Structure 1
Amino acid sequence: MSSTIQSKKRNNKNDNLHKAKSAKNDEFYTTRGTIENELKWYKHHFKGKVVYCNCDDPYESEFFKYFMLQFKMLGLKKLIATCYKNSPVANKQFQFFSNEELLTNRGNKAHKIEITSEDLKGENPSMENMKDILKRKKLVKNLPAKCDGSFDSKPCLKLLEEADIVVTNPPFSQFRQFVHVLEKYHKDFLIIGNMNAITYKEIFPLIKDNKLWLGYTHPKEFIEPNGTIKKFGNIMWFTNLDIPKRHEDLIIWKKYSPEEYPHYDNYDAINVDKVAEIPCDYCESWGLYPEEFEALDKTQWEEVRRERKEDTELIYVIPKEGTELRKLLHEHTDGYKEEIEHVLAKSIYCSGVMGVPITILDKYNPDQIEIVKFRKGNDEKDLTYTEGASPLEASKQASKQASKQASKQASGRLHLTSEFWSARYCNGIIGVPITFLDKWNPEQFRIINGIGRYACIENDSTNKIGTYGTNINGHRKYFRIHIQKIL
């Protein structure tokens, strides 16, 4: 199979792909323009590398032709291509086999081509002499008789072990398995796939964990075996090769408002329908009342936005850049949230505890003042007393009881503090359409999960979220990627 796309049925949003599948005519071939438009961004990745096109007819594949023609310019170490047995386009452009050989089935076996820099020494490959070079150098060889040329067959996996980068257009029906093989063998790759693959539970975790991302272009035209052109609107490149676009910040400028960015009915996040409208001030943060905000040390905390809730204004803050707390927030270190809330509580909470000399007991009114505890004396020893020894010692004993009670109350306040912050905490999670991945910079946003119609995709498993994914006012949203701004 040469650079094929085997369609995967979906709604009726892509009629050509759907009709092709229905007609059992799902073989489509990548054009040279499609390959050139994308690969121009990766040229520096190929120097000194072994490139493997493992879903390509060596005779007809535009992938193979591109790399053979650009072999010296790219500085390749080696080029490998393998062919599926009985490919429908084999022998149509480069007729390697005679009619007699085709009749005896010799020409319909799975083949491979391996080209090294030594093979092309003194040669200047072109479309006109490519066939001659391949035949003269005897570079086209049969794969073992029992091998059908599939990318996961033993002979092809053996070739894969040698490869550095895989570049091809794998069958859509086997896209999951294809990527799994590449991951298993720890290979770099640049491949074509359907946009629906983003929502696969086997693929999305790779995107989330920054092991796979989108390329630059969206191929539109493909060629059928009979030479006709088909157009599609949901095809893209997938790769794990680093490219400049991954490090370009998405420019965001809109301000958050609850009216413009509704909260999901069944998931703690806000919805954004257009990537360009992601709010710049909605992030993980903590809400304070104005009087609490005034108590903050502004050298340690910064305001990110203000929001009215009912009749009260909340000012959302985060640790200031350059502080230790900001580092914890940036890295999401274990326990970072609790540590930030602890420091924030200390910054805005006044306990009212005062240290006074022991002579206070001459004026002590328990209805006016609560004794929290006795501090140590100058000798650093705790004050001691025996029950009922003297009025002073009795007072101390009463104070000890009061201290225990105060400790219990303090524990209660800590418990309430946890509940207090849960009402003030904003997780900063935003639901965006999958087109966000075209603009995703992993240094600017982290991906939390992906929620589709029936499931929440996290890591390598799915968890049901409601019955119809994320809803707003009872209406289901299509697959959403949930992101969080990195601070």
Structure 2
Amino acid sequence: MAEKAKNKNLHKAKDSKKDEFYTQLSDIEKELRHYKEHFKDKVVFCNCDDPRVSNFFHYFSYNFENLGLKKLITTCYKNQERDLFSENKSEKAIYLEYNGDKNGNRVPDAEEIGIIHLKGDGDFRSKESIDLLTQADIVVTNPPFSLFREYVAQLVEFDKKFIIVGHQNAITYKEIFKLIKEDKLWLGYGFNGGAGHFINKHYEDYATATDRKEGMIRVSGVTWFTNLEIRKRHEDLELYKSYTPEEFPTYENFNAINIGKTKEIPVNYNGFMGVPITFLDKYNPEQFEIIGLGISSSGTEFGVEPYKAEHKKYRKEIQKRGAVDGDLYMMTNGIVDVPYARIIIKNKRL
């Protein structure tokens, strides 16, 4: 299936608000193993899940004692439409509360899980859900991509720690990028190959034949966002290339050089550099300073020209040249004319 068709499919999911992709248990286990020290004596809240099918609830309930949790709370959005993705068919939204094993078998038995009906629909923005949020220490879930800005804004407002799934394009949202620049949010360890398989009942699987999982949709560019300290964000990016003006051209209307691939950041350049948004997966705030979001089709903080309608004529040429580190661009006379999103950075070590 062509990339255009896959993107159309995701936009369709976003527009219809049916973008609730249930996360695989294996992906949750792979990411959360890096955060175990943060969970001891903490209340974990999963507020965008149907606990009867949620792998987040499964992970935390079965690892409750191992993680040393204090309490697990999971809310379920009420199914108000027949074709809504939620498995909840009851007339009322519910939340589940688990306080750990009581009979010694270290398994979350049904009689050990408290099921409580909510008065409202269980939306994370409802008063009941917010009241539960205030009890929580750490929020872990996969929120709807269409509501990502609003969801993160709520977590920040209530000063919560979190580990959540989102699309890397959210990096270019001004509200999200501001948090990244201010060192209040960063990327986690991520999904294998920068793509995740999610259970989704509305759309067929558009994965390639070599990367297909029955009954799932493959979404490229998904990642984990967090504000919990992890070892990864303090590891240096190893640099090996030397700067030359021929290989690293300067933007026409901003004094920064263009970097095609994160791994090609020159070791000896002291000025501003425009790097792909995928750089944030390797970002160490002790090694680099983020200056701002340089070039974007949705606007810019700088005097670098955003993508314009007249640039459409370059699209065929862009596609022929292919993707560079997840970012398409073309060059004319050695000058980068139509770059897409770039993060402007500076090496702190020089």
> Same-fold call, TM > 0.5?
yes
* Identity, % of aligned positions: 50
What residue in structure 2 maps to residue 111 of structure 1? 94
How far 1:454 sits from its partner (Å)? 4.5
State which of 124, 147, 172 in structure 1 corresponds to 2:105. Answer: 124
Distance verdict in 2 for CA 1:64–1:240, change over 3 Å? same
Structure 1 spans left out of the alignment, 5+ residues: 1-9, 92-101, 284-427, 458-462
Name the counterpart of 2:208: none
Task: Give CA deviations for 1:22-71 in whole Å, capped at 9, x if unaligned.
Answer: 78753421111111111111111101111000001121110011100000
For 1:227-238, list aligned pairs within 5 A: 228-238=215-225
Deviation for aligned residue 1:148: 1.0
- 1:70 maps to 63
Q: Does 1:225 align with 2:201?
A: yes
Partner of 2:52: 59
8 A Cα contact 2:19 2:145, kept in partner: no
Give distance in 2, aligned partners of 1:195 and 1:445.
Answer: 20
Q: Where does residue 453 of structure 1 map in the other structure? A: 297
Residues in 1 aligned to 2:28 and 2:264: alpha-carbon distance in whole angstroms: 32
* Aligned counterpart in structure 1 of residue 27 of structure 2, from 16, 22, 34: 34
1:90 matched to 2:71? The reply is no
Secondary structure of 1:192 counterpart: strand
3-state DSSP class of the match of 2:293? strand
Cα RMSD for the two superposed structures? 2.4
Please give the alpha-carbon distance, in whole angstroms, between the structure 2 residues aligned to 1:40 and 1:466. Answer: 42
Q: Secondary structure at the match of 2:198?
A: strand
Kindly report which structure 2 residues correspond to 1:240-251, keeping only aligned pairs within 5 A, or say none. 240-251=227-238
Secondary structure (helix, strand or coil) at the match of 2:344 reads: strand
Q: 1:67 to 1:273 in 2, by over 3 A?
A: same
SS at match of 2:273: strand
**2:117 matched residue in structure 1:** 142
SS in 2 for 1:477: coil
For normalisation by structure 2, the TM-score amounts to: 0.81
Aligned pair in 2 of structure 1 residues 66, 19: CA closer, same or farther (>3 Å)?
A: same
1:181 is aligned with what amino acid?
Answer: Q
Q: Which has the larger radius of gyration?
A: 1
Q: Write out aligned runs for 1:246-395 (5 A).
A: 246-283=233-270
| Contact 2:44/2:136 (8 A) holds in 1 | yes
> CA 1:188 to 1:467, structure 2 compared with 1: closer, same or farther past 3 Å?
closer
Is 2:323 aligned against 1:479?
no
Structure 1 length as normaliser, TM-score? 0.59
**SS at structure 1 position matched to 2:343:** strand
CA distance in 2, matches of 1:180, 1:45: 22
Q: Secondary structure at the match of 1:232?
A: strand
Q: State the AA in 2 paired with 1:479.
A: A
Q: Aligned equivalents of 1:154 and 1:190: distance in 2?
A: 22
Q: Measure, in 2, the Cα distance between the counterparts of 1:431 and 1:112.
A: 45
The CA deviation at 1:467 is 4.6
Unaligned ranges ≥5, structure 2: 203-213, 309-328
Structure-2 change in CA distance of 1:446 and 1:251 (3 Å): same
Quick one: structure 1 residues 110 and 44, their matched pair in 2 at CA, closer, same or farther if it must change by over 3 Å? same
Task: Describe the shift of the 1:446–1:67 C-alpha distance in structure 2 as closer, same or farther (beyond 3 A).
Answer: same
The separation in 2 between residues aligned to 1:143 and 1:454, in whole angstroms, is: 39
Q: From the superposition, tell whether residues 204 and 231 of structure 1 become closer, same or farther in structure 2 (CA, over 3 Å).
A: same
Task: Provide closer, same or farther for how the CA distance between residues 433 and 13 of structure 1 changes in structure 2, counting only shifts above 3 A.
Answer: farther
Return closer, same or farther for 1:170/1:21 CA change in 2, 3 Å cut-off. closer
**What amino acid is aligned across from residue 266 of structure 2 in structure 1?**
P
CA offsets per residue over residues 186-226 of structure 1, 9 Å max, x none? 10000000111000011001111111111112251011237
Counterparts of 2:268 and 2:21, CA distance in 1: 45
In structure 2, do the counterparts of structure 1 residues 138 and 214 end up closer, same or farther at CA, with 3 Å as the change threshold?
Answer: closer
> Do 1:454 and 1:464's aligned partners in 2 also have CA atoms closer than 8 Å?
no
Count, aligned residues: 305
The aligned counterpart of 2:207 is: none
Shift of 1:471: 9.2
In the alignment, the residues of structure 1 paired with residue 156 and residue 16 of structure 2 have an alpha-carbon distance, to the nearest angstrom, of: 33
Change (3 A) 1:154 1:89: closer
Distance in structure 2 (CA, Å) of the matches to 1:138 and 1:70: 14
